[in-house]
Amino acid sequence: MPNKIVLHSYWRSSSSYRVRLALGAKGLHAELVSVNLLTNAQQTPEYAAISPTAYVPALTIDGETFVESMAIMELLEELHPEPALLPSDPRSRAHVRALCEIINAGIQPLQNLNVIRKVSSEGPAQKAWMQHFIAKGLHAFEARLAAIEARGARGPFAFGATFGLADCLLVPQVYAARRNDVDLHAMPRILRAIEASKNLPFVLAAHPDAQPDAVH
Ligand SMILES: N[C@@H](CCC(=O)N[C@@H](CS)C(=O)NCC(=O)O)C(=O)O
Protein backbone atom coordinates (compact mmCIF):
# COMPACT_ATOMS: atom_id res chain seq x y z
CA MET A 1 0.00 0.00 0.00
CA PRO A 2 1.41 3.48 -0.85
CA ASN A 3 2.38 5.74 2.06
CA LYS A 4 -0.08 8.40 3.17
CA ILE A 5 1.78 11.68 2.80
CA VAL A 6 0.47 14.98 4.17
CA LEU A 7 2.20 18.29 3.46
CA HIS A 8 1.50 21.18 5.82
CA SER A 9 2.24 24.18 3.66
CA TYR A 10 1.35 27.65 2.49
CA TRP A 11 1.02 28.49 -1.20
CA ARG A 12 3.59 31.32 -1.24
CA SER A 13 6.05 29.74 1.18
CA SER A 14 9.29 29.07 -0.69
CA SER A 15 10.27 26.26 1.68
CA SER A 16 6.91 24.55 1.05
CA TYR A 17 7.38 25.08 -2.71
CA ARG A 18 10.74 23.23 -2.47
CA VAL A 19 9.10 20.17 -0.97
CA ARG A 20 6.25 20.24 -3.50
CA LEU A 21 8.92 20.17 -6.23
CA ALA A 22 10.82 17.28 -4.65
CA LEU A 23 7.60 15.28 -4.19
CA GLY A 24 6.55 16.01 -7.76
CA ALA A 25 9.96 15.13 -9.21
CA LYS A 26 9.63 11.74 -7.60
CA GLY A 27 6.02 11.26 -8.69
CA LEU A 28 4.74 11.27 -5.11
CA HIS A 29 1.31 12.56 -4.17
CA ALA A 30 0.71 14.46 -0.94
CA GLU A 31 -2.49 15.65 0.63
CA LEU A 32 -2.14 19.38 1.34
CA VAL A 33 -3.06 21.05 4.61
CA SER A 34 -2.91 24.82 4.36
CA VAL A 35 -1.29 26.80 7.17
CA ASN A 36 -2.15 30.44 6.58
CA LEU A 37 0.99 32.43 7.42
CA LEU A 38 -0.86 35.73 7.03
CA THR A 39 -3.19 34.89 9.91
CA ASN A 40 -0.27 33.44 11.93
CA ALA A 41 -1.72 29.92 11.83
CA GLN A 42 1.90 28.69 12.17
CA GLN A 43 1.98 30.15 15.70
CA THR A 44 -1.08 28.34 17.07
CA PRO A 45 -0.87 25.52 19.65
CA GLU A 46 -2.52 23.21 17.08
CA TYR A 47 0.34 23.77 14.64
CA ALA A 48 2.97 23.68 17.40
CA ALA A 49 1.85 20.10 18.01
CA ILE A 50 2.85 19.38 14.39
CA SER A 51 5.97 21.56 14.26
CA PRO A 52 7.44 23.43 17.22
CA THR A 53 9.44 25.57 14.76
CA ALA A 54 6.34 27.62 13.86
CA TYR A 55 7.41 27.25 10.23
CA VAL A 56 6.03 25.46 7.23
CA PRO A 57 6.58 22.97 5.72
CA ALA A 58 6.03 19.89 7.81
CA LEU A 59 5.59 16.52 6.10
CA THR A 60 3.76 13.62 7.68
CA ILE A 61 4.35 10.13 6.33
CA ASP A 62 2.05 7.46 7.73
CA GLY A 63 1.53 9.54 10.88
CA GLU A 64 5.21 10.40 11.50
CA THR A 65 6.03 14.09 11.11
CA PHE A 66 9.22 15.50 9.62
CA VAL A 67 10.26 19.16 9.71
CA GLU A 68 12.89 21.29 7.91
CA SER A 69 12.65 21.28 4.14
CA MET A 70 16.26 20.15 3.52
CA ALA A 71 15.87 17.17 5.83
CA ILE A 72 12.51 16.36 4.26
CA MET A 73 13.92 16.41 0.71
CA GLU A 74 16.93 14.31 1.72
CA LEU A 75 14.51 11.84 3.34
CA LEU A 76 12.46 11.64 0.13
CA GLU A 77 15.70 11.05 -1.79
CA GLU A 78 16.65 8.19 0.51
CA LEU A 79 13.19 6.62 0.56
CA HIS A 80 12.67 7.02 -3.18
CA PRO A 81 16.12 7.05 -4.83
CA GLU A 82 14.78 7.20 -8.40
CA PRO A 83 14.66 9.58 -10.13
CA ALA A 84 17.69 10.86 -8.22
CA LEU A 85 17.81 14.48 -7.09
CA LEU A 86 21.48 14.21 -6.09
CA PRO A 87 24.40 13.15 -8.30
CA SER A 88 26.15 9.89 -7.42
CA ASP A 89 29.72 10.98 -6.62
CA PRO A 90 30.57 12.63 -3.28
CA ARG A 91 32.27 15.71 -4.71
CA SER A 92 29.35 16.50 -6.99
CA ARG A 93 26.93 15.93 -4.11
CA ALA A 94 28.90 18.44 -2.01
CA HIS A 95 28.66 21.00 -4.82
CA VAL A 96 24.90 20.51 -5.09
CA ARG A 97 24.41 20.70 -1.31
CA ALA A 98 26.46 23.91 -1.24
CA LEU A 99 24.20 25.44 -3.91
CA CYS A 100 21.24 24.44 -1.74
CA GLU A 101 22.75 26.04 1.36
CA ILE A 102 23.48 29.31 -0.43
CA ILE A 103 19.70 29.63 -0.64
CA ASN A 104 18.60 27.65 2.42
CA ALA A 105 20.98 29.24 4.92
CA GLY A 106 22.14 32.34 3.07
CA ILE A 107 18.97 33.86 1.62
CA GLN A 108 15.71 32.35 2.83
CA PRO A 109 16.11 33.04 6.58
CA LEU A 110 16.66 36.73 5.78
CA GLN A 111 13.49 37.03 3.70
CA ASN A 112 11.32 35.15 6.18
CA LEU A 113 8.10 36.79 7.29
CA ASN A 114 8.84 36.94 11.03
CA VAL A 115 12.36 38.27 10.34
CA ILE A 116 11.37 41.07 7.97
CA ARG A 117 8.51 42.09 10.28
CA LYS A 118 11.13 42.70 13.00
CA VAL A 119 13.43 44.62 10.67
CA SER A 120 10.90 47.14 9.40
CA SER A 121 7.25 47.57 8.60
CA GLU A 122 6.09 46.92 5.05
CA GLY A 123 7.42 49.53 2.62
CA PRO A 124 10.53 50.62 0.71
CA ALA A 125 13.01 49.75 3.51
CA GLN A 126 11.67 46.20 3.70
CA LYS A 127 11.81 45.81 -0.07
CA ALA A 128 15.40 47.15 -0.19
CA TRP A 129 16.39 44.61 2.52
CA MET A 130 14.83 41.76 0.53
CA GLN A 131 16.40 42.86 -2.74
CA HIS A 132 19.83 43.21 -1.16
CA PHE A 133 19.98 39.74 0.38
CA ILE A 134 18.26 37.91 -2.48
CA ALA A 135 20.57 39.51 -5.08
CA LYS A 136 23.68 38.90 -2.96
CA GLY A 137 22.85 35.21 -2.55
CA LEU A 138 21.80 34.65 -6.15
CA HIS A 139 24.99 36.30 -7.44
CA ALA A 140 26.95 33.81 -5.32
CA PHE A 141 24.80 30.97 -6.69
CA GLU A 142 25.50 32.12 -10.25
CA ALA A 143 29.26 32.29 -9.54
CA ARG A 144 29.18 28.74 -8.19
CA LEU A 145 27.32 27.58 -11.30
CA ALA A 146 30.13 29.08 -13.39
CA ALA A 147 32.75 27.29 -11.27
CA ILE A 148 30.88 23.99 -11.50
CA GLU A 149 30.51 24.41 -15.26
CA ALA A 150 34.26 24.97 -15.56
CA ARG A 151 34.66 21.61 -13.84
CA GLY A 152 32.60 19.97 -16.58
CA ALA A 153 29.03 19.76 -15.23
CA ARG A 154 27.03 21.71 -17.77
CA GLY A 155 23.34 22.59 -17.58
CA PRO A 156 20.73 23.20 -18.55
CA PHE A 157 19.66 22.58 -14.94
CA ALA A 158 21.51 23.88 -11.89
CA PHE A 159 23.68 20.79 -11.88
CA GLY A 160 23.83 18.92 -15.17
CA ALA A 161 21.22 17.52 -17.50
CA THR A 162 18.45 16.62 -15.06
CA PHE A 163 16.29 18.52 -12.57
CA GLY A 164 17.80 18.06 -9.11
CA LEU A 165 17.94 19.18 -5.50
CA ALA A 166 19.53 22.55 -6.29
CA ASP A 167 16.67 23.26 -8.71
CA CYS A 168 14.17 22.49 -5.91
CA LEU A 169 15.62 25.49 -4.08
CA LEU A 170 16.38 27.69 -7.07
CA VAL A 171 12.89 27.68 -8.62
CA PRO A 172 11.17 29.02 -5.44
CA GLN A 173 14.00 31.49 -4.79
CA VAL A 174 13.69 32.96 -8.28
CA TYR A 175 9.91 33.17 -7.76
CA ALA A 176 10.61 35.23 -4.60
CA ALA A 177 13.23 37.31 -6.42
CA ARG A 178 10.76 38.19 -9.16
CA ARG A 179 8.07 39.11 -6.62
CA ASN A 180 10.60 41.52 -5.15
CA ASP A 181 11.74 42.92 -8.52
CA VAL A 182 15.31 41.64 -8.17
CA ASP A 183 17.28 42.22 -11.37
CA LEU A 184 18.33 38.79 -12.69
CA HIS A 185 19.69 39.78 -16.08
CA ALA A 186 23.35 39.24 -15.06
CA MET A 187 22.58 35.67 -14.01
CA PRO A 188 22.42 33.72 -17.30
CA ARG A 189 23.01 30.28 -15.79
CA ILE A 190 20.24 30.76 -13.25
CA LEU A 191 17.88 31.94 -16.00
CA ARG A 192 18.86 28.94 -18.13
CA ALA A 193 18.02 26.54 -15.29
CA ILE A 194 14.67 28.26 -14.71
CA GLU A 195 13.88 28.09 -18.41
CA ALA A 196 14.71 24.36 -18.48
CA SER A 197 12.46 23.70 -15.47
CA LYS A 198 9.49 25.91 -16.06
CA ASN A 199 7.35 23.69 -18.30
CA LEU A 200 8.01 20.36 -16.61
CA PRO A 201 4.56 19.09 -15.55
CA PHE A 202 5.51 18.65 -11.87
CA VAL A 203 7.07 22.13 -11.80
CA LEU A 204 3.87 23.64 -13.19
CA ALA A 205 1.85 21.68 -10.60
CA ALA A 206 4.07 22.90 -7.73
CA HIS A 207 3.73 26.59 -8.63
CA PRO A 208 2.18 28.71 -5.84
CA ASP A 209 -0.66 29.86 -8.11
CA ALA A 210 -1.65 26.23 -8.72
CA GLN A 211 -2.16 25.49 -5.01
CA PRO A 212 -5.66 25.09 -3.55
CA ASP A 213 -4.98 27.79 -0.90
CA ALA A 214 -3.73 30.34 -3.45
CA VAL A 215 -5.34 33.77 -3.21
CA HIS A 216 -5.43 35.63 -6.50
N1 LIG B 1 14.56 26.14 7.64
C2 LIG B 1 13.15 25.99 7.47
C3 LIG B 1 12.56 27.33 7.13
C4 LIG B 1 11.08 27.29 7.03
C5 LIG B 1 10.49 28.67 6.89
O6 LIG B 1 11.17 29.66 7.10
N7 LIG B 1 9.22 28.73 6.48
C8 LIG B 1 8.58 30.00 6.32
C9 LIG B 1 7.85 30.07 5.01
S10 LIG B 1 8.94 29.84 3.64
C11 LIG B 1 7.57 30.22 7.43
O12 LIG B 1 6.87 29.31 7.83
N13 LIG B 1 7.50 31.46 7.95
C14 LIG B 1 6.57 31.82 8.97
C15 LIG B 1 6.99 33.02 9.75
O16 LIG B 1 7.97 33.66 9.38
O17 LIG B 1 6.31 33.32 10.72
C18 LIG B 1 12.87 24.98 6.36
O19 LIG B 1 13.68 24.90 5.44
O20 LIG B 1 11.87 24.25 6.42
What CATH architecture is 5-83?
A: 3-Layer(aba) Sandwich (3.40)
d(CA 121, CA 100): 29
Q: Max CA-CA distance within the chain?
A: 52
Query: Which of 51, 103, 113 gets mutated to test ligand 1 (max ligand atoms within 8 A of its CB)?
Result: 113
Query: Could you tell me which of 96, 165, 107 has the C-alpha nearest to residue 131?
Result: 107
In degrees and rounded to multiples of 5, residue 179 shows phi and psi of -60, -25
Query: Could you tell me which of 120, 70, 125 has the C-alpha nearest to residue 99?
Result: 70
What residues flank ligand 1, with Cβ below 6 Å?
A: 13-15, 37, 42, 55-57, 68-70, 104, 112-114
Q: Which pTM does this prediction carry? A: 0.97
Give the distance (Å) from ligand 1 centre to CA of residue 26.
Answer: 23
Give the distance (Å) from ligand 1 centre to CA of residue 172.
Answer: 13
What CATH architecture is 90-201?
A: Up-down Bundle (1.20)
How do the pLDDT tens digits run along the chain, 216 residues long? Answer: 678 999 999 999 999 999 999 999 999 999 999 999 999 999 999 999 999 999 999 999 999 999 999 999 999 999 999 999 999 999 999 999 999 999 999 999 999 989 998 988 888 999 999 999 999 999 999 999 999 999 888 889 999 999 999 999 999 999 999 999 999 999 999 999 999 999 999 999 999 999 999 998
Burial environment of residue 68 by CB neighbours within 10 A (0 to 12, 13 to 18, 19 or more): middle
What single-letter DSSP state applies at residue 160? Answer: B
Q: In what order do the strands lie in the sheet with 5-9?
A: 31-34, 5-9, 58-61, 64-67
Domain boundary assignment for the chain: 5-83, 90-201
Query: Which of 20, 43, 108 gets mutated to test ligand 1 (max ligand atoms within 8 A of its CB)?
Result: 108
Contact 157, 196 (CB under 8 A): yes
Question: What digits encode the pLDDT tens for the residues 10-69?
Answer: 999 999 999 999 999 999 999 999 999 999 999 999 999 999 999 999 999 999 999 999
